[in-house]
Protein backbone atom coordinates (compact mmCIF):
# COMPACT_ATOMS: atom_id res chain seq x y z
CA UNK A 1 0.00 0.00 0.00
CA UNK A 2 1.22 3.48 -0.86
CA UNK A 3 1.98 5.59 2.23
CA UNK A 4 2.55 9.32 2.41
CA UNK A 5 2.68 12.33 4.75
CA UNK A 6 0.07 15.01 4.16
CA UNK A 7 0.66 18.75 4.59
CA UNK A 8 -2.44 20.97 4.70
CA UNK A 9 -1.98 24.73 4.29
CA UNK A 10 -2.26 27.68 1.92
CA UNK A 11 -0.20 28.07 -1.24
CA UNK A 12 1.25 31.44 -2.30
CA UNK A 13 2.71 31.98 -5.76
CA UNK A 14 5.18 34.59 -4.45
CA UNK A 15 6.57 34.86 -0.94
CA UNK A 16 8.13 31.88 0.81
CA UNK A 17 5.46 31.01 3.34
CA UNK A 18 3.20 28.06 4.11
CA UNK A 19 3.33 25.18 1.62
CA UNK A 20 6.37 26.35 -0.36
CA UNK A 21 8.98 26.10 2.45
CA UNK A 22 7.11 23.26 4.14
CA UNK A 23 7.38 21.05 1.04
CA UNK A 24 11.07 21.88 0.57
CA UNK A 25 12.01 21.19 4.19
CA UNK A 26 9.99 18.01 4.68
CA UNK A 27 11.30 16.63 1.37
CA UNK A 28 14.99 17.08 2.23
CA UNK A 29 14.21 15.57 5.64
CA UNK A 30 13.26 12.38 3.81
CA UNK A 31 9.47 12.43 4.07
CA UNK A 32 7.34 11.32 1.12
CA UNK A 33 4.68 13.99 0.73
CA UNK A 34 1.19 14.82 -0.44
CA UNK A 35 -0.36 18.30 -0.18
CA UNK A 36 -3.83 19.71 0.33
CA UNK A 37 -4.18 23.46 -0.40
CA UNK A 38 -6.74 25.34 1.70
CA UNK A 39 -6.31 28.68 -0.08
CA UNK A 40 -4.44 29.71 -3.21
CA UNK A 41 -2.96 33.20 -3.34
CA UNK A 42 -0.99 35.12 -5.97
CA UNK A 43 1.31 36.17 -3.10
CA UNK A 44 1.14 36.16 0.66
CA UNK A 45 -0.76 39.06 2.22
CA UNK A 46 2.04 40.58 4.27
CA UNK A 47 2.83 43.66 2.22
CA UNK A 48 2.04 42.87 -1.41
CA UNK A 49 -0.65 44.90 -3.26
CA UNK A 50 -3.57 43.49 -5.25
CA UNK A 51 -3.38 39.98 -3.85
CA UNK A 52 -5.60 37.40 -5.56
CA UNK A 53 -7.12 34.98 -3.02
CA UNK A 54 -9.00 31.80 -3.93
CA UNK A 55 -10.84 30.08 -1.10
CA UNK A 56 -10.11 26.49 -2.08
CA UNK A 57 -12.79 24.81 0.04
CA UNK A 58 -14.51 23.20 -2.96
CA UNK A 59 -11.18 21.96 -4.25
CA UNK A 60 -10.38 20.48 -0.84
CA UNK A 61 -13.60 18.50 -0.93
CA UNK A 62 -12.80 17.21 -4.41
CA UNK A 63 -9.27 16.18 -3.35
CA UNK A 64 -10.47 14.36 -0.24
CA UNK A 65 -13.36 12.64 -2.01
CA UNK A 66 -10.97 11.19 -4.57
CA UNK A 67 -8.40 10.14 -1.98
CA UNK A 68 -10.94 8.21 0.07
CA UNK A 69 -11.36 5.87 -2.90
CA UNK A 70 -7.64 5.16 -3.30
CA UNK A 71 -5.57 2.30 -1.93
CA UNK A 72 -3.29 4.48 0.18
CA UNK A 73 -2.63 5.51 3.75
CA UNK A 74 -1.22 8.59 5.44
CA UNK A 75 1.51 8.13 8.03
CA UNK A 76 0.99 11.68 9.26
CA UNK A 77 -1.09 14.80 8.73
CA UNK A 78 0.44 18.23 9.35
CA UNK A 79 -2.11 21.05 9.40
CA UNK A 80 -1.36 24.76 9.21
CA UNK A 81 -3.56 27.55 7.78
CA UNK A 82 -7.30 27.02 7.30
CA UNK A 83 -9.38 29.67 5.55
CA UNK A 84 -12.54 29.02 7.58
CA UNK A 85 -13.99 26.74 10.30
CA UNK A 86 -15.78 24.61 7.71
CA UNK A 87 -12.42 23.48 6.34
CA UNK A 88 -11.33 22.47 9.84
CA UNK A 89 -14.53 20.45 10.31
CA UNK A 90 -13.87 18.68 7.00
CA UNK A 91 -10.42 17.62 8.19
CA UNK A 92 -11.81 16.48 11.54
CA UNK A 93 -14.03 14.11 9.55
CA UNK A 94 -11.20 13.04 7.23
CA UNK A 95 -8.86 11.97 10.04
CA UNK A 96 -11.32 9.19 10.90
CA UNK A 97 -11.27 7.79 7.33
CA UNK A 98 -9.53 4.53 6.38
CA UNK A 99 -6.75 6.51 4.71
CA UNK A 100 -6.01 8.67 7.77
CA UNK A 101 -7.17 6.82 10.89
CA UNK A 102 -3.63 5.68 11.82
CA UNK A 103 -1.92 8.95 10.96
CA UNK A 104 -0.04 10.99 13.53
CA UNK A 105 -1.58 14.46 13.68
CA UNK A 106 0.53 17.61 14.02
CA UNK A 107 -1.38 20.89 14.29
CA UNK A 108 0.08 24.35 13.80
CA UNK A 109 -3.06 26.35 14.69
CA UNK A 110 -2.36 29.34 12.44
CA UNK A 111 -4.91 32.05 13.30
CA UNK A 112 -3.29 34.93 15.20
CA UNK A 113 -0.22 37.05 15.82
CA UNK A 114 0.70 40.08 17.91
CA UNK A 115 -2.16 39.29 20.29
CA UNK A 116 -4.89 39.43 17.65
CA UNK A 117 -6.84 37.04 15.44
CA UNK A 118 -6.18 37.37 11.73
CA UNK A 119 -8.59 39.61 9.90
CA UNK A 120 -11.87 37.84 9.10
CA UNK A 121 -11.38 35.11 11.70
CA UNK A 122 -13.92 34.67 14.52
CA UNK A 123 -14.22 32.70 17.73
CA UNK A 124 -15.68 29.81 15.68
CA UNK A 125 -12.24 29.38 14.15
CA UNK A 126 -10.71 29.24 17.64
CA UNK A 127 -13.28 26.69 18.83
CA UNK A 128 -12.73 24.40 15.83
CA UNK A 129 -8.95 24.53 16.17
CA UNK A 130 -9.20 23.89 19.91
CA UNK A 131 -11.01 20.60 19.21
CA UNK A 132 -8.54 19.64 16.46
CA UNK A 133 -5.62 20.36 18.82
CA UNK A 134 -7.20 18.04 21.37
CA UNK A 135 -6.81 15.14 18.92
CA UNK A 136 -3.19 15.87 18.02
CA UNK A 137 0.07 14.10 18.76
CA UNK A 138 1.81 17.49 18.70
CA UNK A 139 0.59 21.10 18.57
CA UNK A 140 2.78 24.12 17.74
CA UNK A 141 0.96 27.42 18.44
CA UNK A 142 2.69 30.76 18.75
CA UNK A 143 2.13 32.77 21.94
CA UNK A 144 -0.97 34.61 20.66
CA UNK A 145 -2.55 31.34 19.52
CA UNK A 146 -1.70 29.67 22.83
CA UNK A 147 -3.53 32.46 24.66
CA UNK A 148 -6.59 32.09 22.43
CA UNK A 149 -6.72 28.30 22.65
CA UNK A 150 -6.62 28.41 26.46
CA UNK A 151 -8.69 31.60 26.97
CA UNK A 152 -5.65 33.18 28.62
CA UNK A 153 -4.33 36.74 28.53
CA UNK A 154 -0.60 36.59 29.24
CA UNK A 155 1.66 39.41 27.99
CA UNK A 156 4.16 37.90 25.55
CA UNK A 157 6.86 40.53 26.11
CA UNK A 158 6.65 40.27 29.91
CA UNK A 159 5.58 36.68 30.54
CA UNK A 160 7.62 35.03 33.27
CA UNK A 161 8.98 31.50 32.92
CA UNK A 162 6.38 30.38 35.45
CA UNK A 163 3.56 31.90 33.37
CA UNK A 164 4.92 30.32 30.18
CA UNK A 165 5.03 26.89 31.80
CA UNK A 166 1.49 27.40 33.12
CA UNK A 167 0.40 28.16 29.55
CA UNK A 168 2.08 24.96 28.30
CA UNK A 169 0.19 22.95 30.92
CA UNK A 170 -3.10 24.60 29.90
CA UNK A 171 -2.43 23.66 26.27
CA UNK A 172 -1.63 20.09 27.27
CA UNK A 173 -4.97 19.88 29.09
CA UNK A 174 -6.72 20.34 25.72
CA UNK A 175 -5.70 16.76 24.91
CA UNK A 176 -2.60 16.97 22.72
CA UNK A 177 0.14 14.54 23.69
CA UNK A 178 3.07 16.92 23.12
CA UNK A 179 3.11 20.72 22.97
CA UNK A 180 5.40 23.49 21.75
CA UNK A 181 4.91 27.25 22.03
CA UNK A 182 7.06 28.68 19.26
CA UNK A 183 8.81 32.02 19.09
CA UNK A 184 8.02 33.87 22.35
CA UNK A 185 9.64 37.24 21.60
CA UNK A 186 11.25 38.95 24.61
CA UNK A 187 13.81 41.76 24.17
CA UNK A 188 16.81 40.27 22.33
CA UNK A 189 15.83 36.65 22.90
CA UNK A 190 13.30 34.18 21.58
CA UNK A 191 11.96 31.61 24.05
CA UNK A 192 10.51 28.29 22.94
CA UNK A 193 8.57 26.25 25.50
CA UNK A 194 7.75 22.58 25.18
CA UNK A 195 6.29 19.47 26.73
CA UNK A 196 7.60 16.15 25.35
CA UNK A 197 5.05 13.43 26.13
CA UNK A 198 7.45 10.60 25.34
CA UNK A 199 9.95 11.79 27.98
CA UNK A 200 7.40 13.48 30.26
CA UNK A 201 9.70 16.49 30.03
CA UNK A 202 8.89 20.21 30.27
CA UNK A 203 11.45 22.77 29.17
CA UNK A 204 12.38 26.22 27.88
CA UNK A 205 14.92 26.89 25.13
CA UNK A 206 16.42 30.36 24.60
CA UNK A 207 17.77 31.49 21.25
CA UNK A 208 18.97 34.77 19.74
CA UNK A 209 16.49 37.14 18.12
CA UNK A 210 17.77 37.87 14.59
CA UNK A 211 16.59 41.10 12.96
CA UNK A 212 13.00 42.16 12.45
CA UNK A 213 10.12 39.81 11.75
CA UNK A 214 10.28 37.77 8.54
CA UNK A 215 7.22 36.06 7.10
CA UNK A 216 7.50 32.28 6.94
CA UNK A 217 9.68 31.60 9.99
CA UNK A 218 6.81 29.86 11.79
CA UNK A 219 6.15 27.61 8.80
CA UNK A 220 9.84 26.74 8.60
CA UNK A 221 10.00 25.98 12.32
CA UNK A 222 6.93 23.73 12.17
CA UNK A 223 8.34 21.88 9.15
CA UNK A 224 11.71 21.13 10.74
CA UNK A 225 10.24 20.09 14.09
CA UNK A 226 7.49 17.99 12.50
CA UNK A 227 9.95 16.26 10.16
CA UNK A 228 12.16 15.33 13.12
CA UNK A 229 9.24 14.37 15.37
CA UNK A 230 7.86 12.00 12.75
CA UNK A 231 11.25 10.26 12.61
CA UNK A 232 11.44 9.76 16.40
CA UNK A 233 13.82 12.60 17.25
CA UNK A 234 13.04 14.07 20.69
CA UNK A 235 11.47 17.52 20.87
CA UNK A 236 14.38 19.26 22.58
CA UNK A 237 16.83 18.25 19.85
CA UNK A 238 14.27 19.04 17.12
CA UNK A 239 13.64 22.53 18.51
CA UNK A 240 17.34 23.33 18.87
CA UNK A 241 18.05 22.22 15.32
CA UNK A 242 15.12 24.22 13.92
CA UNK A 243 16.12 27.36 15.83
CA UNK A 244 19.79 27.21 14.84
CA UNK A 245 19.06 26.46 11.20
CA UNK A 246 16.45 29.22 10.87
CA UNK A 247 18.83 31.73 12.47
CA UNK A 248 21.48 30.77 9.92
CA UNK A 249 18.97 31.38 7.12
CA UNK A 250 17.88 34.69 8.68
CA UNK A 251 21.44 36.01 8.87
CA UNK A 252 22.02 35.05 5.24
CA UNK A 253 18.74 36.69 4.18
CA UNK A 254 19.58 39.96 5.94
CA UNK A 255 23.00 40.05 4.25
CA UNK A 256 21.43 39.27 0.87
CA UNK A 257 18.71 41.88 1.27
CA UNK A 258 21.24 44.57 2.21
CA UNK A 259 23.63 43.62 -0.61
CA UNK A 260 21.04 43.37 -3.38
CA UNK A 261 18.43 45.83 -2.08
CA UNK A 262 16.01 42.90 -1.85
CA UNK A 263 12.70 43.51 -0.05
CA UNK A 264 12.27 41.12 2.88
CA UNK A 265 8.58 40.56 2.05
CA UNK A 266 9.76 38.09 -0.62
CA UNK A 267 10.75 35.78 2.21
CA UNK A 268 13.70 34.04 3.79
CA UNK A 269 16.47 32.81 1.50
CA UNK A 270 16.85 29.27 2.84
CA UNK A 271 17.65 27.23 -0.29
CA UNK A 272 21.43 27.44 0.13
CA UNK A 273 21.15 25.67 3.50
CA UNK A 274 18.74 22.84 2.67
CA UNK A 275 21.60 20.39 2.15
CA UNK A 276 23.04 21.28 5.55
CA UNK A 277 19.61 20.76 7.13
CA UNK A 278 19.26 17.33 5.51
CA UNK A 279 22.66 16.32 6.87
CA UNK A 280 21.86 17.47 10.40
CA UNK A 281 18.47 15.74 10.43
CA UNK A 282 20.17 12.51 9.34
CA UNK A 283 22.67 12.92 12.18
CA UNK A 284 19.81 13.32 14.64
CA UNK A 285 17.97 10.31 13.26
CA UNK A 286 21.09 8.22 13.82
CA UNK A 287 22.06 9.81 17.13
CA UNK A 288 18.86 11.18 18.63
CA UNK A 289 20.55 12.67 21.70
CA UNK A 290 23.18 14.72 19.85
CA UNK A 291 21.73 18.08 20.89
CA UNK A 292 21.13 16.99 24.47
CA UNK A 293 24.88 16.39 24.84
CA UNK A 294 25.64 20.12 24.50
pLDDT score of 294: 44
pLDDT score of 290: 53
Global confidence as pTM: 0.96
The one-digit pLDDT tens for each residue of the chain (294 residues) are 999 999 999 999 999 999 999 999 999 999 999 999 999 999 999 999 999 999 999 999 999 999 999 999 999 999 999 999 999 999 999 999 999 999 999 999 999 999 999 999 999 999 999 999 999 999 999 999 999 999 999 999 999 999 999 999 999 999 999 999 999 999 889 999 999 999 999 999 999 999 888 999 999 999 999 999 999 999 999 999 999 999 999 999 999 999 999 999 999 999 999 999 999 999 999 885 555 544
Q: How many residues does the chain have?
A: 294
| 104 φ/ψ angles, rounded to the nearest 5 degrees | -70, 140
Separation of alpha carbons 167 and 193, rounded Å: 9
**Mind spelling out the 3-state secondary structure of the chain?**
CEEEEEEEEEEEEECCCCHHHHHHHHHHCCCCEEEEEEEEEEECCCCCCCCCEEECHHHHHHHHHHHCCCCEEEEEEEECCCCCHHHHHHHHHHCCCCCCCCCEEEECCCCEECCEECCCCCHHHHHHHHHHHHCCCEECCEHHHHHHHCCCCCCCCCCCHHHHHHHHHHHHCCCCCEEEEEEEEECCEEEEEEEECCCCEEEEEEEECCCCCCCCHHHHHHHHHHHHHCCCCCHHHHHHHHHHHHHHHHHHHHHHHHHHCCCHHHCCCCHHHHHHHHHHHHHHHHCCCHHHHC
Separation of alpha carbons 161 and 195, rounded Å: 14
pLDDT score of 211: 84
Separation of alpha carbons 47 and 190, rounded Å: 24
79: Cα separation from own chain's centroid: 8
pLDDT score of 128: 98
pLDDT score of 122: 96
Q: How many domains does the chain fold into?
A: 1
CATH of the domain at 11: 3.40.1190.20
221: Cα separation from own chain's centroid: 6
Separation of alpha carbons 292 and 273, rounded Å: 23
Which domain, by its residues, includes 248? 2-293
Closest-CA residue to 279 (of 5, 29, 27, 22): 29
Amino acid sequence: MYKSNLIISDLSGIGKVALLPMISIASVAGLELSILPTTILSSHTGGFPNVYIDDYSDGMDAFLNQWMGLDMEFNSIITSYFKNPEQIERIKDFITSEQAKNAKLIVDPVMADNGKLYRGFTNEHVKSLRILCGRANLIIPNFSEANLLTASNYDEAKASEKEIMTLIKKLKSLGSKSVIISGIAQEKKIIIAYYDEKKDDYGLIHTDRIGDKFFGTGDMFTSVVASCFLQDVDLKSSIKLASEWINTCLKHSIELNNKENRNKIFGISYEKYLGELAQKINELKNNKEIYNER
